[in-house]
Amino acid sequence: MAAQLATTAELERLAALVRGARSVVALTGAGISVPSGIPDFRSPDTGLWQQVDPMEVAHIDAFHRDPVRFWSFYGERFATLGGKQPNAAHHALVALERAGMLDAVITQNVDMLHRKAGTAELIEVHGSIATCSCQACEERVSGEQARARLSRDPDGVPRCASCGSPLKPDVVLFGELLPAEALGRARELCERAELLLCVGSSLEVYPVAGLPELTHAAGGAVAIITQGPTPLEHLASARLTGDVVHELQTLLAALALQQQQQ
């Protein structure tokens, strides 16, 4: 049976914005990965930072001060994220990209799920768990190699093979600046976008939360697709509040696009 097209005014407005835009960019946050079994950071009761103080385990000073405690948290996080798979929301963005309706995905997520889904133009502004690096001599290893070294180390800390220093995951920790190249590319894309799709992001963490303002200031439209409230509701030309998987799949149907079976 054919998929039933959504008839809500907001979805129709969003589909029209996508059809009419010469440049569409997606900005994704933790909410797009929740259906893959990865908790977000700030939801009451379930958010990751409700369970642990990020300043104690995810700050660059915590890494330098107590790498054992740091890696007791990140070792578990690596193990959890490593086995997760992209969900239908990730694949919906790939379908839009392959149809020529999406130029790029900018993500705050470090979980590699957009990579696994097949996104071609991807800007990971917070880095990813794909690699770890030595801060002393710049040795870089894969996430798998880092996990292997962690399992062999008596303190549970993956170490540089050259100098023995603790390896750091190539993600942006609290207290660190975002990579200049990635942030610059993200800003460039948002400034020229005629439509920015904000998917599963609370739009609270700067400087990434400022990207929709760049699109809006340049005359582009902003659409927000997330269940929770954001500080940028006043910018939204379209606002969808349902589950991101349902909303994006319904958008594909409204655009008469087929999503590949995964």
pLDDT at 228: 85
Averaged over successive runs of 10 residues, the pLDDT of the chain (262 residues) comes to: 52 95 97 88 48 70 92 82 91 97 96 96 95 92 91 93 94 92 97 98 91 98 94 95 94 80 44
Three-state SS for the chain is CCCCCCCCHHHHHHHHHHHHCCCEEEEECHHHCHHHCCCCCCCCCCCHHHHCCHHHHCEHHHHHHCHHHHHHHHHHHHHHHHCCCCCHHHHHHHHHHHCCCCCEEEECCCCCHHHHHCCCCEEECCEEEEEEEECCCCCEEEHHHHHHHHHHCCCCCCECCCCCCEEEEEECCECCCCCHHHHHHHHHHHHHCCEEEEECCCCCCCCHHHHHHHHHHCCCEEEEECCCCCCCHHHEEEEECCCHHHHHHHHHHHCCCCCCCC
Domain segments of the chain as ranges = 1-38+86-126+178-262, 41-83+129-171
Domains 1-38+86-126+178-262 and 41-83+129-171 share a fold: no
Q: What is the pLDDT of residue 54?
A: 59
Which positions are catalytic? 126
Q: What is the pLDDT of residue 130?
A: 92
The pLDDT, as a whole number, for residue 218 is 97
Per-residue pLDDT, 49 = 45
Q: Which CATH class is domain 1-38+86-126+178-262?
A: alpha beta
CATH value of 41-83+129-171 in 3.40.50.1370, 1.10.3720.10, 3.40.225.10, 3.30.1600.10: 3.30.1600.10
pLDDT of residue 104: 98
